[in-house]
Structure 1
Amino acid sequence: MASNKTNKGPKLRNYLLIKPNEASFIQFIRLLFFPNLNKIRFIEVSEEEGQKLRDSFFFRLIVAASAFVQKLLLTIRVPMAKIGDLLDKNIASGDDKYLGALTVMAAKLAYESAAFVTNVVQLKWKMQFLGFYNYWNDYLGTLSTPVFLFQDAKINAKLVVVAFRGTHPFSADGWSTDIDLSYYEIENVGKVHRGFAKALGIIQNDNTMPSQLLEQGKDGIDLKPYAYYEIVKLLKGILLLNPKAKFIVTGHSLGGALSAMFAAALAIHGETELLGKLQGIYTYGQPRIGDQQFRTYMEQKLSKFNWSYKRYVYSFDIVPRVPFDDDNFLYKHFGKCLHFDRNYTGQVLEEAPDKNYFSLKWFFPKLINAVRELIRSFTLPRSQGPDYKENWFQILFRVVGLLVPGLSAHGPQDYVNLTRLGTVPALVGPDEPIKVLIRP
């Protein structure tokens, strides 16, 4: 157990932790109608947050729903199909679409094995491969936070790209992380999602926040490889050898959440030198990662440092709309939303339409959209060429999307398509006007 004396960084204030494995029908009834938190095994909560839970039936209902869905997902074990690996040859490095096209393919490639990723980066993309790593995830208790790094010498004197792996379709662990409502409150920062913070390693199983890599190993702290600290060490070494280089962090789904959380962790730990080298965060189908205070904190950092945050949201994608958000509830997005409709027409918005997935007024629009997306999976290859042909797994995923509208919209394929066929905001800083390239 770490001594509090060695922790120089911000302290945790409050927390709400959900343990779906320990939930049962009786436990759900107790939470909803007899909220004696001492007898509810699947929740661990601080006193202040516990009082909020006792006072609000709506809060208890949302927590119960989150635990129920997580428990249901634990029974689902279906592997993800292989995905494409070719960059669009029609988008050159000087094109405003280039960084979107590069990062979405990196986010997509992150789902593959280390050998496959190495082969693609070196032999097909002709770029410098910097390594594939799988870091310790305290949330799941396994080595299950994969990330790879590479350098693109075509722009910015070797741009370094850090790509986190996202949520596999039908992966119980990944989807459980996305929809989990558990959180920690970090002093002067706000509340952050428990699963994402632990997957990155900025909060560890003994609920400590080590502020420096060197503190690992002191006072009995184990030496598991935590993603945040290891990646910081790698980036400092890489950028030391090439002082003119900058880096981008990217990911799809869970990978997008880890990308945004990584930038937040740099700010929390005062890594101003690395923040100065951060060119941008590009996320695709990213879930929410913090509360209103956290959103304010991150938007202040966006205005202070010269890096951009591009949060792509396609159509009625379910994941950017979870965990739950309304005017009074916890999780919020920060920064602008780059929203694309079914025709891949893009807009820069404060928030995507239907910010709450469970809103009934959007059910039929989502269902109609899912039907049209299934039809498009057969027509798009005819109009745009064989690169847009979807495999049997992707088509099956579209069919499943008819039962759960918005689910199939989360697939990486549509995010690849929108960077190629849609309107894409140009690469600009956070305070510069955003221009839009109109699709011919």
Structure 2
Amino acid sequence: MTSPFKFTRNYLVLRPDKAGPIKLVQFLWSGYIAEGEDAMILCAQGEEENLKRKWLISLTLLLQMILLWIAKPMRNFGLAFEWFLNLPSSNRAWLQLSLDLLTGDLKKEKESASFISTVGHTDKRVKLDSSISREDVRYKRALSAMAAKIAYENEAFIRDMVTNKWQMDLIKFYDFYNYYQEKNTTQAFMLHDPVDELIVVAFRGTEFFDADAWSTDLDISWFKYRCIGKVHGGFMKALGLTPEGFPDEEPETEYRLAYYTLRKRLRDLVKDNNTKFIVTGHSLGGALAILFAAILALHNEGLLLERLEGVYTFGQPRVGDKDFQRFMEKQMKDHNIKYQRIVYSHDLVPRIPFDSSTFLFKHFGTCLYYNSLYKEKILKEEPNKNYFAPMFKYLVAVWELIRSFIIPYVKGWEYKETWLLRGIRVFGLIIPGFAAHNPHDYVNATRLAESTVE
């Protein structure tokens, strides 16, 4: 079969929209994969060994298929759930809200500055910590954590927070197109701090009820991309990958692709001054942040790399193999770019895809690891790098639930946790890594931990 990708000779791409129960059984039984437009798996010719983990590929495709099937009801349930969460702060009558729910007009409500996402309801803090001055080594890390947190909100909410609470300027809020999912799946915003002449680019992570984002997270597709190595395909697609890869010049398309749109705007913003910029994100957003820097390096964007002061990620999954690790470590050193990968406790997401003989994915850069007491350690790799650890993580989950009730009395009432977050911590007694992934603990870590790392 002729390769549909012009930029690589080795790849594995899963297409859940082309999969089905019969095809999955055929693949598990005999290794059969359809060719052409009906292929649910695209694999480079002569690289059939990429298909040897048939059970893993089949399981991933099955989960992605389920997400495709439930995407609409999942989205509608999420809308109703967020409507319920926002009821106490709404000025509209119950009857009117109920009618809007039935007619679908709640979408308008979701676009208002007073509407808070599910993630926002796990941590309602919106102000920057006034006790952390601009001269504090924690400042940019704490600013990045808050930017990554509010990236989950709508444009009106972000504009209100950035302008009125942070006294900064919202440059632009973006919705980006995913060529492979044929819809807008990626969001980011860009702000300007006029005091420090600093631009912050913040990518949104995975929303609770966004099936497309969950499908991206589960995607084990990958591309062996020229000189930078093996890179996670799902994240590359979300960043704006096309069949030509990421060519130096922006492809002619009617759609807004994340990498090219942000690159063009940053070029315009820094070309005639000394403005610096940082890139950040939580979860999926963190993966997009470091990959954005990687493609800038691939394209030898000298000016932008010179002005890129740092990449701050929170709960970021692995994005590439050992070759990618070496490529990025060299780029960070050559261009003096700070890369801080912040990991809290037993968060599951930074420990996937696994660093194993199957996945071959590696982390790199400085890992700032925070335990459940918000004590900082500087490590090459977070403890228990593949999550399969002793029972201790369950004891930590019990402690985190207890801590949620006592922390406001110890650290102050701004650290009081919402009932929703406490509910997530209860669920975390079963899957500790899920509860530890919430942005609340990452904001706490940047505020409460003593640090000497700039």
Q: Report the TM-score when normalising by structure 1.
A: 0.86
Q: Give the residue type in structure 2 aligned to 1:173.
A: D
Match of 2:438 among 411, 427, 436: 411
Residues 339 and 118 of structure 1, relative CA distance in 2, 3 Å threshold: same
Q: Tell me the CA shift for residue 370 of structure 1.
A: 1.7
Please list the CA deviations of residues 301-322 of structure 1 after superposition, one character each: whole Å capped at 9, or x if unmatched: 1111111100001111111111
What does 1:199-210 correspond to in 2, within 5 Å? 199-201=238-240, 203-204=241-242, 206-210=243-247
Deviation of 1:19 after TM superposition, in Å, equals 2.4
2:47 alignment partner in structure 1: 49
Q: C-alpha separation between the residues in 1 aligned to 2:401 and 2:65?
A: 29
Q: Which runs of 5+ in 1 are unaligned?
A: 428-440
| Deviation for aligned residue 1:409 | 0.5
Matched, 1:237 2:268: yes
The answer to whether 1:175 aligns with 2:248 is no
The question of 1:381 aligning with 2:408 is answered yes
Whether the 8 Å CA contact 1:290–1:332 is kept in 2: the answer is yes
CA distance in 1, matches of 2:368, 2:245: 35
Larger mean CA deviation between 256-265 and 43-52 belongs to 43-52
Q: Does 1:34 align with 2:30?
A: yes
Q: Are residues 1:66 and 2:69 paired?
A: no
Contact 1:84 1:109 in 2 (8 A): no
Cα offset for 1:45?
1.3
Alignment of 1:14-33 (within 5 A): 14-33=10-29
Q: Deviations over 1:229-276 (max 9, x none)?
A: 1111111111124x2111000010111011000000101111111101
Q: CA deviation at 1:191?
A: 1.4
2:375 and 2:29 map into 1 onto residues whose CA distance is 46
Tell whether 2:402 aligns with 1:372: no
1:187 corresponds to 2:264: no
Matched residues in 1 for 2:144 and 2:281: separation? 8
Equivalent residues of 1:37, 1:50 under 8 A apart: no
Residues 328, 296 of structure 1: CA spacing in aligned structure 2 closer, same or farther, 3 A cutoff? Answer: farther
1:260 aligns with 2:297: no
Structure 1 residue 425 displacement after superposition: 4.4
Please show how residues 211-226 of structure 1 align to structure 2 within 5 Å. Answer: 211-213=248-250, 216-217=251-252, 222-226=253-257
Query: Matches of 2:62 and 2:125 in 1, distance apart?
Result: 34
Matched to 2:265, the amino acid is L
Residues 354-401 of structure 1: per-residue CA shift (max 9 Å, x gap) = 2113x2x43x22222222212211111121122111222222221222
Q: Distance in 2 between matches of 1:368 and 1:84?
A: 27
Q: Per the alignment, in what secondary structure is the counterpart of residue 154 of structure 1?
A: coil
Is the alpha carbon distance of 1:115 and 1:352 closer, same or farther for their aligned partners in structure 2, counting shifts above 3 Å? same
The secondary structure found in structure 2 opposite 1:397 is helix
Q: Distance in 2 between matches of 1:142 and 1:45?
A: 24
Does residue 87 of structure 1 match 2:128? Answer: yes
Alpha-carbon distance, 1:195 to partner: 1.5
Q: Which runs of 4+ in 1 moved over 6 A?
A: none
CA drift at 1:149: 1.0
CA spacing shift, 1:172–1:399, aligned 2, 3 Å: farther
Q: How many residues align?
A: 402
Q: How many angstroms apart in 2 are the aligned matches of 1:197 and 1:42?
A: 19
Aligned to 1:303: 333
Identical aligned residues as a percent = 42
Contact 2:345–2:372 (CA<8 Å) still a contact in 1?
A: yes
Equivalent residue number for residue 437 of structure 1 = none
CA distance in 2, matches of 1:239, 1:128: 16
Question: What TM-score, normalized to structure 2?
Answer: 0.83
- 1:108 aligns to 2:108 (yes or no): no
Letter of the structure 1 residue corresponding to residue 12 of structure 2: L
1:178 and 1:323 in contact (8 A); partners too: no
Query: Which consecutive unaligned segments of at least 5 residues does structure 2 have?
Result: 83-116
Shift of 1:69: 3.5
Give me the whole-angstrom Cα distance separating, in 2, the residues matched to 1:174 and 1:344. 29
Task: Give the equivalent residue in structure 2 for 1:290.
Answer: 320
**In 2, distance between residues paired with 1:395 and 1:226?**
37
In the aligned structure 2, how far is the partner of 1:84 from the partner of 1:151?
A: 20
**Superposition RMSD on alpha carbons, in Å?**
2.2
AA of the residue aligned to 1:409: A
* Pair 366,207 (structure 1): closer, same or farther in 2 beyond 3 Å: farther
* Partner deviation per Cα, 1:179-210 (whole Å, 9 max, x = no partner): 21101111111111112111111x21x35433
